[in-house]
Structure 1
Amino acid sequence: MINVENLTKRYGKHTALDDVSFECRPGTVTGFLGPNGAGKSTTMRIICGLTPPTGGRATVLGSPYRRLGNPGARVGVLLDASAQHGGRTGREVLRLSARILGADPGRVEELLGQVGLGDAAANRRIGGYSLGMRQRLGLAHALLGDPSVLILDEPANGLDPEGIHWMRHLLRRFAEAGGTVLLSSHLLREVEAVADRLVLIGSGRVVAQGTLDELVASSGVRVRATDTLALRAALTAAGIDAETGANGPLLAHAEAERVGRAAAAAGVALVELRPADDGGLEQLFLSLTTGTTDDGKGVR
């Protein structure tokens, strides 16, 4: 379980986070999405105890991360795959970490195989790794202590399509076993494929959260009839707010069933009735975060 409550972070006059709240439940993958500069990485660094908040709090497994006993064995973290000792081999890094965490040494070989780093790659110095190999090693490191929570910032960067497919299944298996996953990524289609819940952030504020179906439903429906005036009158009579949408159809702020029933009761023939955001996560993301891009402060 991860709980983020009213997080605020200011750097001088710049507000990076403004009253951010959400939770990640056991058995789920939560996709954490937003444009560059939205505050994703700042939030994750606060959760992991690397950056102090100006206000609010974040807890993992019921406690601030810094107060957890042997946190690396309970929470797997991957925030920057490039932050690894380039002079050591992948196997050496995992063996050293296993000793520090008190993890079963057998986990090292098990995980190297699980993330697709064979003997040749495991014995190579990390300085010669590609970004995709560093990501795989970082995921192995995050899983080393057999944690119940994973916090991953852009873990798919540098992975090829096969690697992304592999990571998706790894995270689903982890969640299905009761684990909690917080996943930040700019690969919207992959997040859509793996996440149970979504948290969308823009300009340091949470702009939406819930399941994809819930978020799409909250956007209303687009509806078109042979008689637009009669349709508008029927919706008004049913207490449904509607406005003129793009290319002619009305945007009705209600569930599709309620809109359809209102039209049928008034004898209005519909020629179109569909979700307002039927373009999936990508369209939803764009509609909710347009204008919330990086302001040049470099905050992620």
Structure 2
Amino acid sequence: MITIDHLTKRYGAQVAVSDVSFSCQPGTVTGFLGPNGAGKSTTLRSLVGLATPTSGTATIAGRRYADLPNAGRQVGVLLDAGAQHAGRTGREVLSLSAMVLGVGPERVDEVLGRVGLAGRPAGKRLGNYSLGMRQRLGLATALLGDPQVLVLDEPANGLDPEGIFWMRGLLRGFADRGGTVLLSSHLLHEIEAVADQLVVISGGRIVAQGSKDELLAGKGTLVRGPDRALLDRALQAAGIAVSPGPEDALLADADALAVGQAVAAAGVVLTELRPAGGEGLEGLFRSLTGHAGAGQQVEEVLA
């Protein structure tokens, strides 16, 4: 189990994450989403001991990563697939990690086969690997110690469609066997396809979290009209709370009948009136963070 409890991280005067709290349960994949500089990478780095929280805690099975005995046997981590010596072969990289973790050479062969790098690819130097091959090797390294928890930052980056489908099955199978997966990705479609739980961060703070089904179901009524400001005033005058919706829409906190009656009474023209939801993860992301996904992708940098 992963537990982030009131985590705050400052770099001088800059607050990267502020009072962040969420948990990831065994048997689930949690999708961790946010726009550029939202604080995702800082949170993950704090969780695996690469950054020290200013306050709050980030624990795995109730302990800090640094306090876990032989942490690599309990937690598989992939934060940067390029962070390997380009002159070593894939097998050499895994063999060195296996010695550190105390696992046998047969496990190296097992994970190489599992990620599709057995045979000739295992003998190639990393300098000759494609980005997708590096990602597969990174996943192999994360899986090497047979951990119960996976912490992954952009694991599908560089994978082709077939590779993304393969990775989805790998993560789903890991969780279905009782593992815990925390997955950060800019590929919103893939998060939507594999995640059970969603955590959305924006500006260093959590703006939404819960089950995927619950968050994507939506609440209230989505409305559009030729005069957005007039529509907003009519709804608020009727006592209906209004918030910005996707693109030029408004999200009214009432059912469609109440919204329609209020608008009709005010004589305001509508071009769309329907229950909120049904726009998928990209629509949810856009409404929560104010960022549009280009081709269902949102870039991420270290916060």
- Normalised by the length of structure 2, the TM-score is 0.83
Q: Which residue of structure 1 lines up, in the alignment, with residue 70 of structure 2? A: 70
In structure 1, C-alpha distance between the alignment counterparts of 2:35 and 2:207, rounded to whole Å: 12
Q: Deviations over 1:138-194 (max 9, x none)?
A: 001100000000000000111000000000000000000000000000000000000
- Secondary structure at the aligned position of 2:146 is classed as coil
Q: Do the aligned partners of 1:153 and 1:185 also contact (CA within 8 Å) in 2? A: yes
Runs of 5+ in structure 1 lacking a partner? 293-297
My pick for the range that moved more, 70-79 or 96-105, is 96-105
Counterpart CA distance in 2 for 1:45 and 1:245 is 32
**1-side partners of 2:150 and 2:243: how far apart?**
43
2:160 maps to what in 1?
Answer: 160
| Pairwise CA distance, 1:246 | 8.7
- 2:113 matched to which residue of 1? 113
Q: One-letter code of the match for 1:209?
A: Q
What's 2:289 paired with? 289
- Is residue 95 from structure 1 mapped to residue 115 from structure 2 by the alignment? no
Distance 1:288 1:245 in 2: 9
Structure 1 residue 247 displacement after superposition: 11
1:43 corresponds in structure 2 to: 43
Mapped to 2, the partners of 1:114 and 1:223 lie a distance apart of 48
Contact 2:222 2:274 in 1 (8 A): yes
Opposite residue 284 of structure 1, the aligned amino acid is L
Instruction: For 1:142-157, list aligned pairs within 5 A.
Output: 142-157=142-157
Rounded to whole Å, the distance in 2 between the matches of 1:30 and 1:146 is 19
* TM-score relative to the length of structure 1: 0.84
Q: Which residue of 1 aligns with 2:128?
A: 128
In the TM superposition, 1:180-191 aligns within 5 A as: 180-191=180-191
- Work out whether residues 29 and 175 of structure 1, in 8 Å CA contact, stay in contact via their aligned partners in 2: yes
Q: How does 1:210-221 map to 2 (within 5 A)?
A: 210-221=210-221
CA gap 1:54/1:129 in 2 versus in 1, 3 angstroms = same
Task: Please state how far the C-alpha of 1:115 moved relative to its aligned partner.
Answer: 0.5
Residue of structure 1 equivalent to 2:298: none
Counterparts of 1:174 and 1:28 in 2: how far apart (Å)?
A: 9
Unaligned runs of 5+ in 2: 225-230, 265-270, 293-300
| CA distance in 2 between partners of 1:88 and 1:107 (Å) | 19
Task: Give 3-state SS (helix, strand or coil) of 1:96's partner.
Answer: helix
Mapped partners of 2:71, 2:2: distance in 1: 14
Q: 1:250 to 1:163 in 2, by over 3 A?
A: closer
Q: Is the 8 A contact 2:218 2:277 kept in 1?
A: no
Query: Number of residues paired by the alignment?
Result: 282
SS in structure 2 at match of 1:20: strand
Contact 2:115 2:139 in 1 (8 A): yes
Show the counterpart of 1:26: 26
Distance 1:105 1:80, change over 3 A: same
Match of 1:173 in 2: 173
Whichever residue aligns with residue 283 of structure 2, its letter is Q
AA matched with 2:51: T
Cα deviation per residue 1:213-234 (whole Å; 9 max; x = unaligned)? 322345422379xxxx9xx99x
